[in-house]
Amino acid sequence: MGFRSDFLWGGATAANQCEGGYDQGGRGLANVDVIPTGPDRSAIIQGKEKMLAFDDTHFYPAKEAIDMYHHYKEDIALFAEMGFKTYRLSIAWTRIFPLGDELEPNEEGLLFYQRLFEECQKHGIEPLVTITHFDCPIHLIKEYGGWRNRKMLTFYERLCRTVFTRYKGLVRYWLTFNEINMILHAPFLGAGLCFEPGEDEEQVKYQAAHHELVASAIATKIAHEIDPENQVGCMLAAGSYYAFNCNPENVWSSRTKDRQNYFFIDVQARGYYPTYALKQMEQAGIELVTEEKDFELLAEHTVDFISFSYYSSRVAPVKDGEQAETAGNIFASVKNPFLEASEWGWQIDPLGLRITLNDIWDRYQKPMFIVENGLGAVDVPDETGYVEDDYRIDYLAAHIQAMKDAVELDGVDLIGYNTWGCIDLVSAGTGEMKKRYGFIYVDRDNEGNGTLKRTKKKSFDWYKQVIASNGENL
Ligand code: BG6
């Protein structure tokens, strides 16, 4: 009983939120670099306001982030001390192809990740690599319009072929696109999309989504060709929708909202566009430009496992009703009166994780991997830098218990669990540093001040014993 003996315990980060070193080693600029903190951030993320270069009036937190570019050995050693079996990270596309459309990769960038993966190997940590975690080279946005352009398939394939070949033997677990459904809610992050006034945004988003879905299938194909040991996963920003009440209209509303997200995974896991999606696109007047071979690729190269992030469940909008909203992972949800919320308004629902695990398992019957979960909170360190983060321990313990119930009582197939932001990093939604998820405190504030010193929090030792006991001691 309990978790499998080779359960992949660990933590997750993304290049743009922790690496910094934006101008080091021949790296080029990406969308994620030029997203500032402050009131403009949200419109930029949604592609409604264009920001494709730095200006003097904004602060860009990804430029330095927590400078993992220079601290990775120290950070990986701390992960190893907690007993991590896996470390999920993303590669920055622009370290490897600074512009994105070059024919030859940048050796310095390749070497950086090679050393990082070797460091993981030295500590017996299995890297889980996200090929694109919200990043798209600026040059590809300016020149081609990001993922709206079919040429992106060629550039992405080149990136994949390069990293699969170079890191063969060092990396076996890959994710093609972080939270692929985010393209609908944060299209500049998800696909490098900026909209022109009057443009049919839904048409552009679904066309870009089609390109990413085919690119993901191509990546899966070549990953398996280059090394049959490779395991490729899709990645969903998950969290099942609840109906506001038993009014059938509201039940239908929750079904529709779930499908909006599952659409992506339906294609990646089953290999074809589901009928409901085809009908919805037809009704919305969305006409995809496709090629015959796209559908063969989708059918033949489905993913090996389903990965997802889970922070909260969601509540579907009520038809013509009065409903309070609450914040959530990039997009808002209707407030659930039965749940407490974090300081950022994200509702806390451990049982929702068990429900989501069961929904995904029932739908796909493929191994699942939770690759993000955690509590973003304000930490107040004492004079030595130590944080007593019992609130974080409580959140994580309740969620681990829920996933244990899903495994032991419901029989879902779960291969691993990674907490988000195992070391404090820049928030994707707000750009803040003070929204912390880590077991390791990093001395850096919202304005970029601080020594970058790393200090273990109380949750560090707690997670260490969770891993050592394979989830028995919570
Ligand atoms: C997910 C992303 O959306 O949620 C991460 O994959 C992100 O990149 C995480 O950091 C938490 O969101 P936030 O806005 O609190 O950083």
Residue 139 main-chain phi, psi, to 5 deg: -60, -40
Tell me, in angstroms, the distance from the centre of ligand 1 to residue 438's CA: 13
Q: Do the domain assignments include residue 443?
A: yes
Segment 295-310 shows an average pLDDT of 98
Strand spans (E) along 34-146: 86-90, 126-132
What is the number of other CB atoms lying within 10 angstroms of the CB of residue 390? 11
Q: Could you list the residue range(s) of the whole structural domain that residue 363 is in? A: 8-468
CATH number at 312 reads: 3.20.20.80
- Tell me the best of 372, 392, 423 to mutate to test the pocket of ligand 1, counting ligand atoms within 8 Å of each CB and taking the most: 372
Segment 157-184 shows an average pLDDT of 98
Q: Do the domain assignments include residue 75?
A: yes
User: What atom of ligand 1 comes closest to residue 429's alpha carbon?
Assistant: 14
User: What atom of ligand 1 comes closest to residue 237's alpha carbon?
Assistant: 3
Alpha carbons 84 and 8: distance in angstroms, whole number: 8
User: What atom of ligand 1 comes closest to residue 178's alpha carbon?
Assistant: 6
Does the beta carbon of 424 sit less than 6 angstroms from any atom of ligand 1? no
pLDDT category at 79 given cuts 50, 70, 90 is very high
What's the pLDDT score for residue 328?
73
Does the beta carbon of 435 sit less than 6 angstroms from any atom of ligand 1? yes
What's the pLDDT score for residue 324?
75
Report the percentage of the chain scoring pLDDT > 70. 99
For residue 23 the two structure tokens come to: 């101008």
CB neighbour burial string for 93-105, b if at least 16 within 10 angstroms, e if fewer: bbbbbbbbeeeeb
Alpha carbons 135 and 30: distance in angstroms, whole number: 6
Encode pLDDT of 400-434 as tens digits.
999 999 999 999 999 999 999 999 999 999 999 99
- Tell me the best of 329, 344, 369 to mutate to test the pocket of ligand 1, counting ligand atoms within 8 Å of each CB and taking the most: 329
Whole-angstrom CA distances from 396 to 2, 267, 310, 459, 468 are 17, 31, 12, 9, 16
**What does pTM read for this prediction?**
0.98
- Tell me the best of 13, 19, 131, 309 to mutate to test the pocket of ligand 1, counting ligand atoms within 8 Å of each CB and taking the most: 309
Encode pLDDT of 190-234 as tens digits.
999 999 999 999 999 999 999 999 999 999 999 999 999 999 999
What is the number of other CB atoms lying within 10 angstroms of the CB of residue 286? 18
Q: Do the domain assignments include residue 473?
A: no
Segment 170-178 shows an average pLDDT of 98
Tell me, in angstroms, the distance from the centre of ligand 1 to residue 17's CA: 9
Q: Do the domain assignments include residue 198?
A: yes
- Residue type at position 268: Q
Tell me, in angstroms, the distance from the centre of ligand 1 to residue 1's CA: 32
pLDDT category at 318 given cuts 50, 70, 90 is confident
Encode pLDDT of 339-369 as tens digits.
999 999 999 999 999 999 999 999 999 999 9
The structural domain count of the chain equals: 1
User: What atom of ligand 1 comes closest to residue 14's alpha carbon?
Assistant: 8
What's the pLDDT score for residue 208?
98
Tell me, in angstroms, the distance from the centre of ligand 1 to residue 69's CA: 20
Q: Do the domain assignments include residue 1?
A: no
What is the number of other CB atoms lying within 10 angstroms of the CB of residue 327? 18
pLDDT category at 184 given cuts 50, 70, 90 is very high
Nearest in space to 36 (alpha carbons), one of 432, 444, 452: 432
pLDDT category at 321 given cuts 50, 70, 90 is low
Encode pLDDT of 370-382 as tens digits.
999 999 999 999 9
User: What atom of ligand 1 comes closest to residue 420's alpha carbon?
Assistant: 9
Tell me, in angstroms, the distance from the centre of ligand 1 to residue 430's CA: 9
Alpha carbons 214 and 21: distance in angstroms, whole number: 31
What's the pLDDT score for residue 322?
67
Check whether 293 has a pLDDT greater than 90.
Answer: yes
Q: Do the domain assignments include residue 420?
A: yes
Tell me, in angstroms, the distance from the centre of ligand 1 to residue 25's CA: 26
Q: Do the domain assignments include residue 388?
A: yes
Q: Do the domain assignments include residue 474?
A: no
- Report the range of poorest mean pLDDT among 61-75, 228-242, 306-320, 401-415: 306-320
- Just list the catalytic residues: 372
* Bridge partners for 88 per DSSP: 12, 128
Encode pLDDT of 37-60 as tens digits.
999 999 999 999 999 999 999 999
